[in-house]
Amino acid sequence: MFEGLQIEKDSDDLSSEEVSRAVAAPNVEAVIAALREIRCSLCLKSMGPRSHELRRKNPHYYWRAWLICEADHNETRVFRTDWLHGST
């Protein structure tokens, strides 16, 4: 699915704060499992994906997910996903 993925340059819109809070995810299954567990920090309802994107801050790749709950609260989560380009 992501084999051979190349993002040519670092992503300016990925903040150093997001990078420092990123959760290391060893594979796509870990990202999916983590997303299923997330509860809204305001109302504690389940959150579902609104959108996602892949970003890079050399040497790492990141998967940013925007989430929304049933009460329309929005949150983001960032996962470090080095397996997307085969680094460790």
pLDDT of 88 over the 50 cut: no
pLDDT in tens, 30-66: 999 999 999 999 999 999 999 999 999 988 999 999 9
Q: Nearest 5°: CA angle at 66, between 12 and 34? A: 110
Instruction: Please give the model's pTM, rounded to 2 decimal places.
Output: 0.82
- Domains located in the chain, CATH noted: 16-84 (2.30.30)
